Structures are given as C-alpha cells and as structure tokens.
C-alpha cells in the first residue's frame, strides 16, 4: 500500500535516516564493527552493508531494473540467503569500502527517484519501495543501538538528541497508578492502509470482539520488577511456564540481563557502558516474554492480548463508557502525529523516561505512554490476520509466524514516522536484548 507523501519527501527522510545510521557507527573501528559471534546480533559491518543492499535491491534493481552495483552483493548481504551464523566469515568489504558503497547507493536512489513515476511493479508504485527501504533502515538503526548495548559500547551521540535533552520538562508530573477500564465490544483490528504505507502483517483489518477488561495505566517499572526479583521470583517454579522455566535454567537467569546487585543491596543497571542506579518509576526494559509472564503470575496479573492492547490504544468510549465508538485513533491521543510532549520517540532522550511523564500522550481511557518509551510484550503469538497475503518483501512476516510473540507501541529509539497503534513488532520469546518491557491486565 502506498504512502500519502511524495517521493521527494520520502527521499528527504531516507537521507536523514542514512545520516543517523552513519552516526551510529562512526566511532567504531573495524574490529568493533565485527564484534563477537552472537546469535542475537549481526556483525555491524555486515549490517550497515545490508541496509544499503536492501535499498539498492528494492529501489533500484527491483523497481527500476538497474544492474547490481556489487557483483557479489547477493552472496554477501541478502539476509534471506546468507545464514546468520556465517555472516562473520564472509569476505566483507572493508569499513571504508562499505561506507563508500552506502554513499553510492543513496546517491543513485536520489537520482533515480526524484521524478514522480506512475510505474507499478505487481501493483506497487515507486513510493512503496522507497518507504519500505526507509522503514527497513529505521528498524536497523534501532537494532544497531541494542547491539551497542549488548556489546557494552558507549551510547551513540547525536547532536540533535543532546540539544533537545536539555529542554525536557521533567517537573510537575503526578504519579499515576492503577488500571483503566476498557468496556470491550467490537472494533476493527489492524490497518486498512487508508493513511499510507502499512506492512503486510497488519493488513486485512477485520472485526474483533473483545470482552471488557482492566489494563494498567502505565508499563511495569524498574521498582515494581525489583520487588519480584527480591521476592525470589526467578527461583520459584510456580511463576514460570514450562518453556520459560527451561529458558531460565539454561540462561542461569536470576534477574534481568543488565542488572547487578552490589554488596550493600543496591541494584544497578548497565546502560550501554555505564552502570546506573535503578529508578523506581523508570519504565522497565530488557526483559523477555518469559520474564514478563513470570512477573504477571507473581503479581496475579496477565499480559494483554494484542486485540485488547490495540482497542485500548485506539478506541474511544461511547454510550457513557459502556461501549467503544466506531472511530479508531491512529495514536493513543488522537490522529495528530507524535510530538515530544506526547511520546518518547526518535532517540530524543536516549533512553526511557519515568512512566508518569508525557500526560499529553494519554489514550482515551487514561493509559500513558502506549506509544514510545518501551516496546510492550503481548500475550499473543505472531501470526497472520485472516486473508493475509505477503507483500513484495515476502520474508518480512511469514517466516516468523508461530514461534515469535507480538510487541506493540515502539520504544525511545523507534522513529515516529513508522510507529502507530496498529503497528506489529515481533521477536522470539527468549529475546531480552531489545528495548522491551510490558504492561499488565487484571485477571
């Protein structure tokens, strides 16, 4: 499905995204760009080359039928063909040659796509492939950030982020707790595409019926999860699913992956290469689906389904709060695009903020930060909506149906141009390196 903006507008965003990608790796030498062989990350030297290859493939080779710019590009960078574990062993171009390839690709994309085109490939036009390339690069930028976290590299530095950080208003926010009541009913789950580009897994919008439910007004905080850890939650089998307990034992997990307890009992969290104290009201991140489920059982709660979450984020009360209205909001606060006062997105503060901040981003039922700050795990397995048809990039969704879990809402490093209420992210349930936390529902 097409984007409502013009090609020139999308190209401006592509240039900005490439600038962001380069800034994420500009302080890393060739050795750190390769890094250790780990299942949960890519060698960054391969990843930045893959970003350019993906853009070249869809915007130049697929849409314009250009010849390949690299004679061996498919063998190096096609993620569907190159097995993850082999990416450290490939004859990758040097750092300088990789950056040169990235430069040449973006220049050729600009040259080839500035003029409007009515051409369509299997029903998809120029803007679709430009937008696909943009969102792909923005997703990988977020992945590069969590790779830097995984490897203990210093936090990336962006001039725009550091400048805006000084103007952040952190005063006067009242603590919010408790649950919001959502009356349930029927609503349209998924995206129609009327507002622009959407990925294949959220198309086929369809009617879903949801029973009334109570959902927490905020995501779970570091302080709340610390109570679970200190109550022995990681050692009590009753709180864990069978698969979760097997994971906990194999991972030797006793607490969230980046936490450490000092001799005096104080808890610290590693933030990139720095150790910082836990903050009671800071949104929890870096926990996996199994850990989220164990916390819920300990607390007498549960994870929301993605239909519940999308209803809470998108719908408005009707009939004096006994039902939901037909209109769906694009964002929790309405249809206006995200701003710094509504959502923690776009790397603005280089990490999570307190769950009590940004009240202007509340949904119609009083939930805060359903967009931005931290991704939120859903109870739901990632699968197709009825009538699913893969898009041109067939490897995006379908290969991951069944063994991945859904996440919603975006995080502080998610780009505001990409995220909305209906957006579906997905990871395997053991992943705790990503910027993910959760909120809970009453049983």
Please check whether residues 178 and 50 belong to one and the same domain: no
Contact 400, 426 (CB under 8 A): yes
Indicate whether 391 and 286 sit together in one domain: yes
Check whether residue 121 and residue 200 sit in a common domain.
Answer: no
Last residue of a domain, one of 97, 132, 157: 157
376-432 pLDDT, tens digit per residue, is: 999 999 999 999 999 999 999 999 999 999 999 999 999 999 999 999 999 999 999
Residue 173 lies in a domain: yes
On whether residue 401 sits in a domain, the answer given is yes
Same domain, 86 and 208: no
414 and 320 in one domain? Answer: yes
Residues 364 and 352 in one domain: yes
Residues 18 and 56 in one domain: yes
Per-residue pLDDT tens over the stretch 170-221:
445 799 999 999 999 999 999 987 667 999 999 989 999 999 999 999 999 9
With b for 16 or more beta-carbon neighbours within 10 A and e for fewer, the 410-426 pattern comes to bbbbbbbbbbbbbbbbb
| Residue that is last in its domain, among 157, 192, 207 | 157
| Residue 298, in any domain of the structure | yes
pLDDT of res. 158: 75
Same structural domain for residues 263 and 393? Answer: yes
Closest CA to 367 of 191, 213, 192: 213
pLDDT tens, position by position, 286-329 = 999 999 999 999 999 999 999 999 999 999 999 998 999 999 99
Last residue of a domain, one of 126, 157, 188: 157
Which residue is it, tokens 């950080």? 165
Classify residue 322 as exposed, middle or buried by CB count within 10 Å of its CB (0-12, 13-18, 19+): exposed
Check whether residue 334 and residue 227 sit in a common domain. yes
Q: Is the pLDDT of residue 3 over 50?
A: no
Mean pLDDT along residues 250-277: 98
Q: Tell me, yes or no, whether 219 and 360 share the same domain.
A: yes
Q: 189 in a domain, yes or no? A: yes
Nearest C-alpha neighbor of 370 from the set 159, 215, 226 = 215
The yes-or-no verdict on residue 275 having pLDDT over 60 is yes
* Sign of the torsion angle spanned by Cα atoms 47, 53, 56, 57: negative
Q: Is 322 inside any structural domain?
A: yes
CATH of residue 273's domain is: 3.90.1580.10
CATH number assigned to the domain comprising residue 129: 1.20.120.450
Domain range holding 234?
160-443
2 in any annotated domain: no
Mean residue pLDDT across the chain: 94
Residue 172: per-residue pLDDT: 57
- pLDDT tens, 221-243? 999 999 999 999 999 999 999 99
240 in the same domain as 112: no
Q: Tell me how many domains the chain contains.
A: 2
**Domain presence at residue 23:** yes
Q: Is residue 127 part of a domain?
A: yes
Long-range CB contact pairs, 9-15, < 8 A, 24+: 10/127, 10/130, 10/131, 10/134, 11/109, 11/110, 11/113, 11/114, 11/130, 13/134, 13/417, 14/55, 14/106, 14/109, 14/110, 14/130, 14/133, 14/134, 14/137, 15/106, 15/110
pLDDT in tens, 24-71: 999 999 999 999 999 999 999 999 999 999 999 999 999 999 999 999
Same domain? For 149 and 260 the reply is no
């Amino acid at each position: 499905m097409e984007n409502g903006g013009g090609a020139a507008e999308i190209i401006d965003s592509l240039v900005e995204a490439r600038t962001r990608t380069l800034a994420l790796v500009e302080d890393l030498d060739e050795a750190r760009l390769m890094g250790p062989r780990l299942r949960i990350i890519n060698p960054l030297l391969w990843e930045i080359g893959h970003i350019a290859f993906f853009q070249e493939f869809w915007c130049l080779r697929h849409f314009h039928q250009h010849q390949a710019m690299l004679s061996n590009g498919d063998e190096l960078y096609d993620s569907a063909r190159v097995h993850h574990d082999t990416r450290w062993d490939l004859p990758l171009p040097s750092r300088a040659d990789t950056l040169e390839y990235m430069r040449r690709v973006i220049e050729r994309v600009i040259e080839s796509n500035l003029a409007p085109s009515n051409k369509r490939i299997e029903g998809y036009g120029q803007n679709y492939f430009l937008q696909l390339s943009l969102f792909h690069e923005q997703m990988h930028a977020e992945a590069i950030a969590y790779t830097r976290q995984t490897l203990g590299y210093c936090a990336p530095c962006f001039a725009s982020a550091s400048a805006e950080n000084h103007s952040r208003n952190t005063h006067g926010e009242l603590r919010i707790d408790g649950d919001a009541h959502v009356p349930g009913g029927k609503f349209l789950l998924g995206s129609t595409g009327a507002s622009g580009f959407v990925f294949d897994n959220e198309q086929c919008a369809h009617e879903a019926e949801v029973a009334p439910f109570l959902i927490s007004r905020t995501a779970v905080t570091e302080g709340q999860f610390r109570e679970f850890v200190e109550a022995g939650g990681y050692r009590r089998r009753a709180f864990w699913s069978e698969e979760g307990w097997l994971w906990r034992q194999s991972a030797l997990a006793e607490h969230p992956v980046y936490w450490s307890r000092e001799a005096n009992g104080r808890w610290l969290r590693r933030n990139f290469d720095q150790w910082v104290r836990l903050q009671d009201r800071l949104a929890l991140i870096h926990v996996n689906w199994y850990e989220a489920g164990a916390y819920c059982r300990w607390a007498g709660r549960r994870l929301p389904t993605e239909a519940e979450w999308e209803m809470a984020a998108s719908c408005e009360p009707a009939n004096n709060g006994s039902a939901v209205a037909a209109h769906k909001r694009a964002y929790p606060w309405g249809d206006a695009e995200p701003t710094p006062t509504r959502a923690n997105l776009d790397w603005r503060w280089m990490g999570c903020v307190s769950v009590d901040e940004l009240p202007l981003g509340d949904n119609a039922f009083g939930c805060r930060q359903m967009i931005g700050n931290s991704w939120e795990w859903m109870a739901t397995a990632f699968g197709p909506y009825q009538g699913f048809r893969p898009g041109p990039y067939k490897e995006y969704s379908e290969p991951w149906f069944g063994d991945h879990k859904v996440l919603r809402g975006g995080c502080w490093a998610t780009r505001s141009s990409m995220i909305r209420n209906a957006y579906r992210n997905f990871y395997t349930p053991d992943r705790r390196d990503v910027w993910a936390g959760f909120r809970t529902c009453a049983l």
